[in-house]
Amino acid sequence: MACDTLTRDQSVRTAIELLDTDGLEGLNMRARGARLNSPATAVYWHVENKDNLLLLATDHVWGELDLPDLDSADRRATATAMATDLYRMFLRHPWLVQAFAAHVLYGENKARHDDHSLALHETAGFTAAEAAVR
């Protein structure tokens, strides 16, 4: 695959594959390049560095989460569904636990999940301050 045909999405998905199989230690540009049949430095066309690639990979997996309807009358079932989906995400991507311990992780998909979680607690009657510590 030539550098000019490699996309950011391909780099991120390949990074996730490496992380899922080899953990944080396995995420390196040489291994990513080998999987994509591209030079190790080709990733830098799309991301600034390895930390940026990790941020993009992390945010991508947060996008896997389904966010249930907040208008459901059964808030406990809604909260349980969100927690179960989150647990399954961590099972699919165990490197996330280590990443959270070593990096500040953020992104649109994580923010979407966090906002939805706060909104769920607020609809259950918690104040914003109470919901933030739940």
Tens digit of pLDDT per residue, the chain (134 long)?
Answer: 444 577 889 889 999 999 999 999 988 877 777 777 777 676 667 777 888 889 999 999 999 999 998 887 788 899 999 999 999 999 999 999 999 888 888 899 999 999 999 999 888 888 878 877 65
d(CA 6, CA 11): 7
How large is the angle between the packed helices 75-92 and 108-123, nearest 10 degrees?
150
Give the pLDDT score at 57.
95
Give the pLDDT score at 43.
67
Which pTM value belongs to this model? 0.82
Give the pLDDT score at 4.
57
Give the pLDDT score at 19.
96
Q: Is 39 helix (H, G, I), strand (E, B) or coil?
A: coil
d(CA 9, CA 96): 19
Q: Are the beta carbons of 20 and 14 closer than 8 angstroms?
A: no
Give the pLDDT score at 94.
96
Give the pLDDT score at 32.
78
| Residues in the chain, total | 134
